[in-house]
A and B are shown apart, each in its own frame.
Chain A
Amino acid sequence: MTGVAKTDRLQPIALASRTQGSWLFIGLTLFILLFFALSLSLGRVPLAFFEALGALLEGEDTLGAIVLYEIRLPRALLALMVGATLGLTGAALQGYLRNPLAEPGIIGVSASAALGSVLVFYYGLAAVFPLALPLGGMAGAFVAVLLMHLLAGRQGSALGLILAGVAVNSLAAALTALALNLAPNPFAATEIIFWLLGSLADRSFTHVALAAPLMALGGLVMLTLGRALDALSLGEETAESLGVDLGALRLRLILGTALGVGAAVSVAGAIGFVGLIVPHLLRPLVGHRPSLLLPASALGGAALTLVSDIAVRFAPFGPELRLGVFTALIGAPFFFYLVIRLRRETW
């Protein structure tokens, strides 16, 4: 009977966070829908959006319909999916490592995925076998997340994780630069900025088709981690006594990260900080529950990336900004704030 009494006492809190949570989910979804539409309607060329949309739906080949379908739609879809992947991965890594600074960009997973993609893309493998591009990214991400595990682990301090991330990041960036300098194409050397800062400009449905299924699969794997991460937030021993298999959890996390981030980076480059900012902003709003934070961060990541990808189109001079420039401009100050907060309290 004590069990019932306990449940009774916990119920109101859980309910409160659930209603609060559902409002959050509705709000985020509306936000995403709005910015998805804005992403389709705003660009370098003023486009009569509703006219173009009408033509597209009726199957007419007007220039507006073609621009909308072939250029802006794949871009908006990729922003949505890449953002969701990064937000979700950030939340999962932070929950599992119980480390507030864990994020695919900071711990070097994105940079390694970029290295993997660069190797298969510039040396011709992706040209003969298109799926090699996301597979290369996934291989890079897998190596990095595994390395991270060995170097910092779950017991490691926040500082240890960051230091390991610095090492993996700089090595991956250096090897990427080396690979691009040695690549047979003379344009390659200047393209390092795409791989290290990311961009969604001029992507096509080819990229969506390559990466979207893998990102979806990685996302699904990570969304199933919610309950285990909830238990883990009570401590490792408690989690094990509640029947959580930590080995299986670790394996799914590594696979999900490699699938999602690897595929995302292989078509969009390494976009930093999305996975850091989003879970932090949303955590208090979901009552600090990882099982709610995971889907919320997926939505939040998609929203942030959609907004950022619209913002970069309106750089006052010259070509548009890289997506990673914008996310770093908001993300890096946030990172400072987290570091300062970490100095005061342990997480």
Chain B
Amino acid sequence: MRIFAALLLMVATIATAPALAAEEARPERIVSLNLCTDQLLIALAEPGRIAALSHLSRDPDISYYAEAARAFPSVPPDAHAVMRHEPDLVLAMQHSARNTVALLERLGYRVLDLPVAERLADVGAQIRALARALGEVARGEALIAEMEAALAALDPQPSTNQPTAIVYQANGFTIGAPSLVDDLLAAAGFHNLARDLRLTRQGRLPLEALIYADPDLLIIEEARVGSPSLADQLLRHPVLERARPRSTVRVSADLWTCGGPFSVEASRRLAALRALAPWEDAR
């Protein structure tokens, strides 16, 4: 009896859900389930069309648009909560919120599942795909052109003697290649030392191995400032200040946790640093 009732409910929901035929229509109530799609959506869509964003979008440590995101309701990765916003487009990113996405698709909701930006070059493709779904093609192309111009302006002098850099994150993780961060370092004219350590994507680097790698620039990615954890305490180990006293920089993760127009800003800041420091002397 109960199963029958559940089935009936399901049929009713499917019937009332937005029909697949409406796919070409311009979406006006968009829900995003992922931090990265949240930020692309904010960059591309009028605020009036955003129905809800993921709760991570409000976190200033990892979300570049945290301030702007506070204007919108936040939604947990839960199909029921999403349905309550009656979305005509749900944004998700591959590898995340899989159960919710599968359920929403089965219920007939229109879901745009963007691929993860593995490289800097993928960000443009992401923007293009989302812009098409939003009916904001011109705006998307303008944004991409803006990004490309900003990157071209960095012009890392192709030198054989590139300064080396390494990114150190909470819990002692570092970022290798291929990755968005590796591309951003290269765009700023730094050689990612994690490549030489044969780390792909993300890998754990023991503290003493980090010191021994001896990068010219140590980029410490700040985790939650002000709320203590052992993961964060590691980033404050006295050895980090002592081994590289003049060339340690602390960056907030919001610029490169996701790819977006703002990611270029990370490269721009690092390039400025590169222009400043006397790297040959540091060696």
- Which residues on A are within 8 Å of B, measured CB to CB? 43-45, 47, 61, 63, 66-67, 70-72, 121-122, 124, 126-127, 183-188, 190-191, 194, 201-202, 204-206, 318-320
Shortest Cβ distance from A122 into chain B, in angstroms?
A: 6
Q: Are B207 and A202 in contact (CB under 8 A)?
A: yes
A66-B239, A127-B228, A319-B204 are known; give 6 further A-B pairs, CB within 8 A. A45-B212, A122-B229, A124-B227, A185-B228, A206-B238, A320-B206
Q: Are B204 and A67 in contact (CB under 8 A)?
A: no
Point out the residues of chain A lying under 8 angstroms from B223, CB to CB: 185, 187
Proximity bits, B226-243, A CB within 8 Å = 1, else 0 = 111111101001110011
Point out the residues of chain A lying under 8 angstroms from B229, CB to CB: 122, 183, 185, 187-188, 191
Shortest Cβ distance from A179 into chain B, in angstroms?
A: 12
Q: Are B214 and A204 in contact (CB under 8 A)?
A: no
Q: Are A202 and B227 in contact (CB under 8 A)?
A: no
What are 19 sample pairs from A and B whose C-beta atoms fall under 8 A apart?
A45-B209, A47-B208, A63-B211, A67-B208, A70-B239, A70-B243, A71-B207, A121-B228, A124-B227, A124-B228, A126-B228, A127-B226, A185-B228, A191-B231, A202-B207, A202-B234, A205-B238, A319-B206, A320-B206
User: Which residue of B172, B231, B243 is within 8 Å of A66 (Cβ)?
Assistant: B243
Determine if B224 is an interface residue (Cβ-Cβ < 8 Å).
yes
Determine if B199 is an interface residue (Cβ-Cβ < 8 Å).
no
Determine if B170 is an interface residue (Cβ-Cβ < 8 Å).
yes
Q: Are A66 and B227 in contact (CB under 8 A)?
A: no
Q: Are A187 and B232 in contact (CB under 8 A)?
A: yes
Nearest A residue to B172 via CB reads A202
Complex: how many Å from CA A194 to CA B171?
A: 12
Point out the residues of chain B lying under 8 angstroms from A126, CB to CB: 228
Q: Are A202 and B212 in contact (CB under 8 A)?
A: no
**Dominant secondary structure at the B interface:** helix
Q: Are B209 and A191 in contact (CB under 8 A)?
A: no
Point out the residues of chain A lying under 8 angstroms from B206, CB to CB: 43-45, 201-202, 319-320
Q: Which of B103-119 contact A (CB under 8 A)?
A: none
Supposing A63-B243, A66-B243, A187-B171 touch, asked if A44 and B208 sit within 8 A by C-beta, the answer is yes
Shortest Cβ distance from A78 into chain B, in angstroms?
A: 14
Shortest Cβ distance from A102 into chain B, in angstroms?
A: 30
Complex: how many Å from CA A124 to CA B227?
A: 7
Q: Are B209 and A184 in contact (CB under 8 A)?
A: no
Complex: how many Å from CA A188 to CA B233?
A: 11
Shortest Cβ distance from B196 into chain A, in angstroms?
A: 14
Supposing A185-B224, A187-B171 touch, asked if A66 and B230 sit within 8 A by C-beta, the answer is no
Point out the residues of chain B lying under 8 angstroms from A61, CB to CB: 242
Supposing A66-B243, A187-B223, A204-B238 touch, asked if A71 and B230 sit within 8 A by C-beta, the answer is no
Complex: how many Å from CA A191 to CA B242?
A: 26
Point out the residues of chain A lying under 8 angstroms from B171, CB to CB: 187
Supposing A184-B224, A185-B229, A187-B231 touch, asked if A67 and B211 sit within 8 A by C-beta, the answer is yes
Point out the residues of chain A lying under 8 angstroms from B170, CB to CB: 187
Q: Are B232 and A71 in contact (CB under 8 A)?
A: no
Complex: how many Å from CA A322 to CA B118?
A: 33
Nearest A residue to B230 via CB reads A191
Q: Are A184 and B211 in contact (CB under 8 A)?
A: no
Complex: how many Å from CA A191 to CA B229?
A: 8
Shortest Cβ distance from B94 into chain A, in angstroms?
A: 22
Question: 9 nearest interchain CB pairs?
Answer: A70-B239, A187-B231, A185-B229, A184-B227, A185-B227, A187-B229, A44-B206, A45-B208, A45-B212
Point out the residues of chain B lying under 8 angstroms from A66, CB to CB: 211, 239, 242-243
Q: Are A63 and B230 in contact (CB under 8 A)?
A: no
Complex: how many Å from CA A194 to CA B204?
A: 17
Point out the residues of chain A lying under 8 angstroms from B208, CB to CB: 43-45, 47, 67, 71-72
Q: Are A67 and B212 in contact (CB under 8 A)?
A: yes
Q: Are A204 and B237 in contact (CB under 8 A)?
A: yes
